[in-house]
Copies of this chain bind each other. A is one copy, B any other.
């Protein structure tokens, strides 16, 4: 229950609305109106107040405002430690950037919540429950992640990045999310390989406890209805796992003539193994990745054909979706129909590898 032990702030008493009002020769109420847009105040007074604000260097006290309006103009972005590749992963960089940019448009602040291991959830819950933020954005998590339930219990409006594993339908409230069309993208990737005349198309799958990986597997099966199970190998989204999977593949199915990797990192690992074993890409084996990670896709040889998603756009969408949820909550008091999730399209980017 103890709280912030931070020492007192220094800023030598900033001017208050009262001071502005006095200087402008109006009441505090009028000054407040002007500061908040100036609707319903006659121009001359608006000017006077504006000038007073300028001269005094007045900046509204956020705490006081929050106290009465019950909104605080801040959104939490929750990053779970298990996914701490977040920062090294350009995926997150772009997503957070999109979020940041969009939040600026809404004049809202980004509060970064970094979950330090499972024991840290109570801290997050406390913070979320403390009403410090108007809403939360979290990222798609693993199957057994408690974060969704922590967020739900804190009763804070939230939007997920990436489709979360959720009970789905047994009375649990659905949390809206923004995700790329992983399944459709995977279909496009595999169709590309089919159109090249490949018949033994393998898939190096991502970890089964992430929906993105599952969806990509599903897309693969959509096109290859009766795919040989032996052609599907398990990876974990790292380059090494891609290399391992490729090695297995070549061992069990040396006749493989195409590979759809669950992401670019795994594709790069697979590519390395293919080179080592003397297979030419794309002549002997065609290769498609997923994500269009700049740092990978163009530095490998040959450049990787892959599926692109608008990551920054997804970040922006998360914010917009959250704002809509908050609007609904505010307006009707309760849910205005379940807020729809958004699936953003993907595009196949053809380079040399397939």
Residues of A that sit less than 8 Å from B by CB = 1-12, 14, 34-37, 50, 53, 57, 59-67, 69-74, 77, 84, 86-88, 90, 92-93, 96-97, 100-101, 104, 106-114, 116, 120, 123, 126-127, 129-132, 134, 155-157, 295, 323, 326-327, 329-331
Minimum CB distance partner of A115 in chain B? B100
A50→B67 CA distance, assembly (Å): 24
Q: B6 and A106: CB pair below 8 A?
A: yes
**Can you give 14 A-B contacts (C-beta < 8 A)?**
A1-B50, A1-B60, A2-B36, A2-B107, A9-B70, A11-B155, A12-B155, A57-B129, A59-B126, A61-B130, A63-B72, A67-B67, A87-B93, A109-B127
- The complex places the Cα of A50 from the Cα of B330 at a distance, in Å, of 32
| Residues from chain B with Cβ under 8 Å of A101 in the complex | 114, 116
CB pair B3 A65 closer than 8 Å: yes
Chain B positions within 8 Å of A50 at CB level: 1
Complex CA distance for A123 and B87, rounded to whole angstroms: 25
Q: When the two chains form their complex, are residues A107 and B9 in contact, meaning their CB atoms are under 8 A apart?
A: no
A6 to B133, CA, bound (A): 11
Bound Cα distance from A112 to B7, whole angstroms: 20
> A130 and B70 in contact (CB under 8 A), knowing A93-B88, A108-B6?
no
List, in ascending order, chain B residues with CB within 8 A of A5's CB: 106-107
* CA A109 to CA B133, docked complex, whole Å: 11
Q: How far apart are the CA atoms of A65 and B66 in the complex, in Å?
A: 11
Query: Measured between alpha carbons, how far is A111 from B100 in the docked complex, in Å?
Result: 11
Question: With a CB–CB cut-off of 8 A, which chain B residues contact A116?
Answer: 100-101, 104
Distance between Cα atoms of A3 and B6 in the complex (Å): 26
Residue contact A107 to B4, C-beta cutoff 8 Å: yes
Closest to A100 in B: B114
Give chain B nearest CB distance to A242 CB in angstroms.
15
Do A100 and B112 touch across chains, with their CB atoms under 8 A apart? yes
Contact partners of A10 in chain B: CB under 8 A: 155, 157, 326, 329-330
Distance in angstroms between the alpha carbons of A12 and B330 in the assembled complex: 11
